[in-house]
Structure 1
Amino acid sequence: MSDNSNSNNNNSIDHTKNVLVEKHISYVVNLDNKKEEDFEYWVTEHLRMNGMYWGLTSLYILKALDKMDRDVIINWVLSCQKSNGGFSGNVSHDEHLLSTLSAVQILMQLDALDRLDQDLVAKYVLSLQQEDGSFFGDKWGEVDTRFTYCAVSCLSLMGKLDLLDNNRIEKIADFINRCKNFDAGYGCIPGAESHAGQTFTCVGALAIINRLDLIDRDQLGWWLCERQLPNGGLNGRPEKTSDVCYSWWVVSALSVIDRLHWIDNEKLRNYILKCQDNETGGIADKPGNVPDVFHTFFGLCGFSLMSYFDMEEIDPTYALGTKTLLKYNIKLPWNKKL
């Protein structure tokens, strides 16, 4: 399907039918101009590393990564690394697995992974694994399947997954399996409610450690398909409203288990289109709401995973471009694109 909006950047474009490519590029590039006196600047200050990853990857999908200053970004990312190898969300914050993975992803996209002491990063990641196979997010001890995904993804991207011996791998697989519920979805810890976001992290982690055999693909596929609402959008759990971010969490998991064709891709595409801001660019969580970089990224990921419009391919496991992964010789046996 073609996108005829690339060369036209005026408000006459029907955003319910076209991707506002140039406006999205402008929206992401101008995020860096947020002023310190702005409320939004401070409420997102601790998420700057994640925001940088979402923005850069959005530009990658839109084939506009060269719009950002590579050297400035690399130097800022490296300034957020702590002495133990972990990365913080911003210079003045503590290190965390979430921001550490984002830092590695950013450096990979900018072809600067060689600037990193990868052994030190790997040591930090490994130090957070617990006896039951789970991972703390940081030194304060919170456990969540998000952190398991961050740990194995980070190690894999640096080519250091072999630092996890068979015993550690089996404990990771067992912990994730204990987070699986009767509906085949996954929660943040054993016994927690199934959630599409947590389901992606568990499916992604199992894909990376080559344990997709633990998943009941048909039952999980059915639960994920039930997330699609009559308006075409997806929710994260039963009785919730639709949200563009699930265009990543649900669609990525369906892609990994080869069940993406079980939802109505066209209806989802149309829902994401309606969530675009026709004036400023960017994508919101719901039609008519204010856009943000988080939902812009996940909306564009949805388009890419469903192969709509002329966009770069995003990998559903690593949330990085397939071209980036191939450059680093990272391949997963289930993904025929790699």
Structure 2
Amino acid sequence: MTDTATTTTNEIDHTTTFLKDKHINYITNLDVKKDTFEYWVTEHIRMNGMYWGLTSLNLLGALEKMDKEEIIQWILSCQKPNGGFSGNTLHDDHLLSTLSAIQILVQLDSLDRIDINPVIEYIVKLQQEDGSFFGDQWGEIDTRFSYVAILTLSLLGALDRINVNKAVEFIDRCKNFDGGFGSIPGAESHAGQIFTCVSALALVNRLDLVDIDKLGWWLCERQLPNGGLNGRPEKSSDVCYSWWVISSLCTIDRLNWINTEKLKNYILKCQDNETGGVADKPGDIPDVFHTYFGISGFSLMGQFTDQVETIDPVYALPIKTIKKLGLKAPWNKLI
């Protein structure tokens, strides 16, 4: 008679379980992987990566695992003489990295480590006559930059320094027949651009310009049979839209128009059962970008509330941080 060996495994089923500890370990070890192609190819957006990783840890209640002073010193080294921040020490300043720097400092209770006046001046100078904003000195215009400028100034208490009415007029010109918004006037609607436009309008109390039901319908149509969301018609699902779409639905109070249980299951399948982290699609390699958006998606939907803090859909910061800053968020019933 031959004995039959029984194989056992201690692996957790990532399709049904939120891998909190693995995600924390994945994020905290990102900076030690300096011998990888991915580490160096993303060098120019390290500030954004720091924001995604640090905010994820904050939502998971693990912010203390990062060296606060080391992060602050690195951020300070990325500030340029004109007040803006770069994506890394040897790169040029940009509005996107400037917002990330401010969001990080706010979460670390360290905004007092910088002089905010040069930052404000930097942003103010990037607004154009039509109300739009350049992303940097090279002149690209995009509604992302409108949101970034407005959000950064809101965090710094300086929204009165720009022409808000002109900024709103430009965003409104980017609105389309389907209720969505594009990157510039005439550009197609995209979930990412909708997030930036809706959030910017929310920050300046102009959500009256949004056709809420028409936009809500366009957004809920982004859910595919697999439960995931896409960014525009005829595209495949991607975890990042768990933020871009869901945040907008939360802001216009239409989250119940999608099946959040199916989306939760889709994000769970995108977790990496070995290394931790979340990928764009099930079976792909995880990265900090999609890890942040997957965790934030759970937060916005009220999933795993015993493990994930609540994030605000407009400020893209934990609600506890918003409350500490004393900011108003009329779109958020929890503040």
TM-score, structure 1 normalization: 0.95
* Rounded Cα–Cα distance in structure 2 between residues aligned with 1:83 and 1:145: 26
In the alignment, structure 1 residue 47 sits paired with structure 2 residue 50: no
Q: Which residue of 2 aligns with 1:163?
A: 161
Q: Is 1:335 aligned to 2:335, yes or no? A: no
Calculate percent identity across the aligned residue pairs. Answer: 70
Report the equivalent of 2:220.
225
Question: What is the rounded CA distance, in whole Å, between the counterparts of 1:155 and 1:169 in structure 2?
Answer: 11
Q: Match of 1:242?
A: 237
For 1:212, the equivalent position in structure 2 comes to: 207
Q: Deviations over 1:174-226 (max 9, x none)?
A: 11111111111111000001000000000010000110000000000000000
Please give the secondary structure, in 2, of the residue aligned with 1:267: helix
Per the TM alignment, residue 38 of structure 1 is displaced from its structure 2 partner at its CA by 2.3
| Structure 1 residue 337: Cα displacement | 1.4
Q: Structure 1, residues 79-103: CA drift from partner, whole Å, max 9, x if none?
A: 1000110000000000000000000
Partners of 1:169 and 1:188 lie apart in 2 by 18
Task: Call closer, same or farther: CA 1:63–1:307 in 2, change over 3 Å.
Answer: same
1:162 shift after superposition: 2.1
In the TM superposition, 1:80-119 aligns within 5 A as 80-119=78-117
Other-structure match for 1:280: 275
Partner residue in 2 for 1:6: none
Is it true that 1:262 corresponds to 2:268 in the alignment?
no
1:29-44 matched pairs, under 5 angstroms: 29-35=28-34, 37-44=35-42
5 Å-filtered alignment, 1:136-155, equals: 136-155=134-153
Tell me, in whole angstroms, the C-alpha distance in 1 between the residues paired with 2:10 and 2:303. Answer: 22
| Cα distance per residue 1:59-114 (max 9 Å; x no partner) | 01111111100000011011100011000000000000000000000000000011
Q: What CA deviation, in whole Å up to 9, does each residue of 1:273-307 have, x standing for no partner?
A: 00000000000000000000000000000000000
Q: Once the 2 structures are TM-superposed, how far is the Cα of residue 11 of structure 1 from its aligned partner?
A: 5.2
Q: Which residue of 1 aligns with 2:312?
A: 315
Distance across 2 between alignment mates of 1:219 and 1:11: 48
Distance in 1 between the 2:53 and 2:39 partners?
Answer: 15
1:167-186 residue pairs with structure 2 within 5 A? 168-186=163-181
User: Counterpart of 2:73 in structure 1: which amino acid?
Assistant: N
Shift of residue 229, structure 1, vs aligned partner = 0.2
- Provide the aligned C-alpha RMSD in A: 0.9
CA–CA distance in structure 2, aligned partners of residues 176 and 267 of structure 1: 32
Whole-Å separation in 1 of the counterparts to 2:157 and 2:17: 39
User: Would the aligned equivalents of 1:11 and 1:279 in 2 still touch at CA under 8 Å?
Assistant: no
Moved over 3 A (4+): none
Distance 2:334 2:120 in 1: 27
Say which of 60, 67, 84 aligns to 1:62.
60
- TM-score where L is the length of structure 2: 0.96
CA distance in 1, matches of 2:320, 2:111: 15
Structure 2 residue aligned with 1:129: 127
Counting matched residue pairs gives 325
Q: What residue in structure 1 maps to residue 298 of structure 2?
A: 303
Give the secondary-structure state (helix, strand or coil) at the position aligned to 1:83: coil
1:5 corresponds to: none
What displacement does 1:34 show?
Answer: 1.8
Q: Structure 2: how far apart are the matches of 1:325 and 1:75? A: 24
Partners in 2 of 1:50 and 1:65 — Cα distance? 17
Take 1:246 and 1:54, find their aligned partners in 2: how far apart are those partners?
A: 15
Kindly indicate whether the alpha-carbon contact (under 8 Å) linking 1:11 and 1:278 is maintained by their aligned counterparts in 2.
no
Larger radius of gyration: 2
Q: Secondary structure at the match of 2:29?
A: helix
CA distance in 1, matches of 2:248, 2:59: 19
Structure 2 CA distance for partners of 1:288 and 1:38, relative to 1, 3 Å:
same
- Alignment-mate amino acid for residue 20 of structure 2: V
What runs of 5+ residues in structure 1 fail to find an aligned partner? 1-9
Where do 5+ consecutive residues of structure 2 fail to align?
Answer: 1-8
